[in-house]
Amino acid sequence: MARPPESVAPAGHRERLRNRLITAEPDALNDQDLLEIILFIALPRRDTKPIAKRLLERFRSFSAAIAAPAEELARIEGLGPAGIAALKTVQAGAVRLAGAEVMDRELLNDWDGLMRYLNTRLAREKTEQFRILFLDTRNRLRADEVQSRGTVNHTAVYPREVAKRALELSASAVILVHNHPSGDPTPSREDVAMTKEVAAALNTVSVVLHDHVIIGNGSWTSLRREGLL
């Protein structure tokens, strides 16, 4: 039997949450509170508390909910296209904010900031994604591009295409990045072999491969720091 539509939440409840968000520290609200507030705007005629609860039951955390694929969010009863768009807007804003922290900085001197940015982008992706960070002569970010997307455990990488794109962007150095949707950032033998192939291709065009970073769920591995590059 279908659940009857939720009514609008009491105005006092919404106002209290808004005031806490505006006047208190950001961590004064829990995950459910934050989801409710986001959905207030997208679903003004609905009681968003039950929807927020369903999101947390399914995805376990605020960050996992906003990063979930749209097709999975569409299965949450009561959310709808407007609610999905609101959650994905917050995710896009988080990525943009993290990206602003690494722009115009020498990335090798701000490794913690770079890892925050990469974790925001990749830690909760459901399929493998291979990204390339192209750096200028001062190791500042010139471009961050997706080279390929794959399955839950594989993505194709083409060393010659990496080298070609580095030349097109007049990049002096490159950092390779990809995620392991399993959450374990331990490099595979294939990861190590591919890294060496890309390094060799870049060497032919005098571009330095600084590192290859693998992102897990809240953790990461640097092949250079592991002595694998």
Q: Render pLDDT for 197-225 as a digit per residue (tens, 0 to 9).
A: 999 999 999 999 999 999 998 899 999 99
Is 58 part of any domain? yes
Least confident of 18-22, 75-79, 145-149, 203-207: 18-22
Is 205 part of any domain? yes
pLDDT at residue 10, as a whole number: 62
Clarify whether residues 90 and 166 are in a common domain.
no
Runs of H (alpha helix) within the chain? 11-23, 31-42, 49-59, 62-67, 70-73, 80-102, 111-122, 159-168, 189-203
pLDDT at residue 101, as a whole number: 78
Clarify whether residues 118 and 91 are in a common domain.
no
Least confident of 12-21, 62-71, 111-120, 149-158: 149-158
pLDDT at residue 51, as a whole number: 96
Is 3 part of any domain? no
Is 175 part of any domain? yes
Provide the token pair at 189.
């033998």
pLDDT at residue 9, as a whole number: 60
Phi and psi at 51, nearest 5°, equal -70, -40
Return the residue matching tokens 């399914």: 58
Write out pLDDT tens, residues 85-133.
999 999 999 888 888 878 778 888 889 989 999 998 898 888 899 999 9
Residue scoring higher pLDDT (156 or 63): 63
Task: Please give the single-letter amino acid code of residue 192.
Answer: V
User: Confidence band (pLDDT; 50, 70, 90) for 18?
Assistant: confident
Q: Would you say the C-alpha torsion 163, 168, 172, 177 has a positive or negative sign?
A: negative
Q: Which of 159, 152, 153 is nearest to 174 (CA)?
A: 159
* Residue 177 DSSP class: E
Check pLDDT > 60 for residue 26: yes
pLDDT at residue 72, as a whole number: 94
CA distances 132 to 15, 147, 183, Å, are 44, 7, 20
The count of structural domains within the chain is 2
Where is the domain boundary, 43, 64, 97? 97
pLDDT at residue 31, as a whole number: 94
CA 44 to the chain's CA centroid: 28
Is 1 part of any domain? no
3-state secondary structure of 205: coil
pLDDT at residue 1, as a whole number: 46
Question: CATH code at 213?
Answer: 3.40.140.10
Is 71 part of any domain? yes
Provide the token pair at 147.
């080279």
Clarify whether residues 218 and 119 are in a common domain.
yes
What is the spatial order of strands in the sheet that 208-215 belongs to? 141-149, 129-135, 173-179, 208-215, 220-222
List the domain range (segments joined by +) for residue 207: 106-222
Q: Would you say the C-alpha torsion 210, 214, 215, 220 has a positive or negative sign?
A: negative
Where is the domain boundary, 97, 119, 139? 97
Clarify whether residues 49 and 138 are in a common domain.
no
Clarify whether residues 70 and 115 are in a common domain.
no
Residue scoring higher pLDDT (210 or 45): 210
Is 229 part of any domain? no
pLDDT at residue 156, as a whole number: 76
Write out pLDDT tens, residues 137-196.
999 999 999 998 875 555 678 899 999 999 999 999 999 999 999 999 999 999 999 999
3-state secondary structure of 48: coil
pLDDT at residue 22, as a whole number: 83
pLDDT at residue 3, as a whole number: 53
Clarify whether residues 126 and 216 are in a common domain.
yes
User: Confidence band (pLDDT; 50, 70, 90) for 11?
Assistant: low
Clarify whether residues 130 and 40 are in a common domain.
no
Clarify whether residues 135 and 30 are in a common domain.
no
pLDDT at residue 136, as a whole number: 95
Is 77 part of any domain? yes
First CA to last CA across the chain, in angstroms? 58
Residues 226 and 58: their CA atoms lie apart, in Å, by 36
Clarify whether residues 74 and 43 are in a common domain.
yes
Phi and psi at 171, nearest 5°, equal -80, 145
